[in-house]
Amino acid sequence: MKTLLGLLLVVLLAACTTVATKKVDSGDNTIGDRLQVNIEGPWNQITAPGMGPAYIWTMEGLPVDQLRIYSGIKDGEVIHDTRNSNLKSFTFRSNMQSDELVSMFEGMLTRDGSTFQVTKVEPSVFGGGKGVRFEYAMVTKEDSLPLTGVGYAAVNNSELFALLYNAPRLGFFPRHQARVEQIARSAKIIATPVPAKN
């Protein structure tokens, strides 16, 4: 038992040491190589092994608030951290309709048993093309914390571009919502470079 707990501790400590934080400055920023956003005020980008394909930003620090940005997710790609293989995986399909995109994100955010309630779904523009905007309310399973969230998603040339932000309902979400909406409005999908002909 002690050996097992010791090993667990070592693994957890090892994981801690590989978490990196990088400041994201105001102005135009390219996410991956396919999505450009303009931000007002700096954010913190968190990177760690196994965090999944989304770029994770935070204003207040994880897990208080979290902005996930997806840039050019391919058909068949899993959209989340895959370290816990015992939980259901959620995969992007390029033929997904708007409601299916929302369901996919809902499934992702409730993998741990958290509750999720979509409070609004509406057509929107994201990345310069047709997309969907949705609002949601969550209660986290881990600490029973009520969160509010907003998401934008669009499929462009069979690739997924999306942005999801959630934060505690009281205080943090209202504080940063306008900033997030501005980022979503500024999003531009960068065309895939055409390979040069020889």
Partner 1 sequence: MNRRGFLRAGCGCSLGTLPLFAAGQEPWQAPARFVRPDTASDEGGIWAAMDREETKLRRSPFNLRDPQLQPYVQDIACRLGGEHCPDIRVYLVRTPYFNASMAPNGMMQVWSGLMLRVDNEAQLAAVLGHEVGHYLERHSIERLRAAKSSSAIGQFAGMFGVVGLLGAMGLVAGMYAYSRDNERDADRIGALLMNRAGFDAGEAAKVWGNLMLEVNARPNGSARNPLFATHPASEEREDTLKELAASLKGGVTNEDAWQQKTAPHRRQWLQEEVKRGQHEESIAFLTRASTRTQGKADYLWARGEVYRLRAGSGDLDSAVKDFQAAVALGGEPPEAHRGLGLIYRSTERAADARASFERYLQLAPDSADAPMIKNYIQELSV
Least distance to partner 1, CB of residue 141, Å: 6
169 binds partner 1 (CB under 8 A): no
5 binds partner 1 (CB under 8 A): yes
Distances (CA, A) of 95 to 32, 50, 79, 159: 22, 26, 15, 10
Q: Which of 120, 193, 194, 198 binds partner 1 (CB under 8 A)?
A: 120
86 binds partner 1 (CB under 8 A): yes
Token pair 């996919």: residue: 104
Q: Which of 18, 26, 97, 192 binds partner 1 (CB under 8 A)?
A: 97
Least distance to partner 1, CB of residue 28, Å: 30
Least distance to partner 1, CB of residue 151, Å: 13
Distances (CA, A) of 152 to 13, 50, 99, 145, 176: 35, 23, 12, 23, 16
Within 10 angstroms of residue 50's Cβ, the number of other Cβ atoms is 10
Least distance to partner 1, CB of residue 121, Å: 4
132 binds partner 1 (CB under 8 A): yes
Q: Which of 146, 158, 170, 171 binds partner 1 (CB under 8 A)?
A: 146
Tokens of 168: 């505690």
Tokens of 6: 């010791």
Q: Which of 52, 63, 107, 128 binds partner 1 (CB under 8 A)?
A: 107
**Would you list the DSSP string of 141-182?**
TTT--EEEEEEEEEEETTEEEEEEEEEETTTHHHHHHHHHHH
Least distance to partner 1, CB of residue 43, Å: 28
181 binds partner 1 (CB under 8 A): no
Contact 176, 167 (CB under 8 A): yes
Report how far residue 14's alpha carbon sits from residue 4's, in angstroms, rounded to the nearest whole number. Answer: 15
192 binds partner 1 (CB under 8 A): no
Question: What is the biggest distance separating any 2 CA atoms in the chain, rounded to whole angstroms?
Answer: 63
> Which residues of this chain interact with partner 1, rule CB under 8 A?
1-2, 4-5, 8, 84-88, 90, 93, 97-100, 103, 106-107, 110-113, 115-123, 132, 139, 141-142, 144, 146
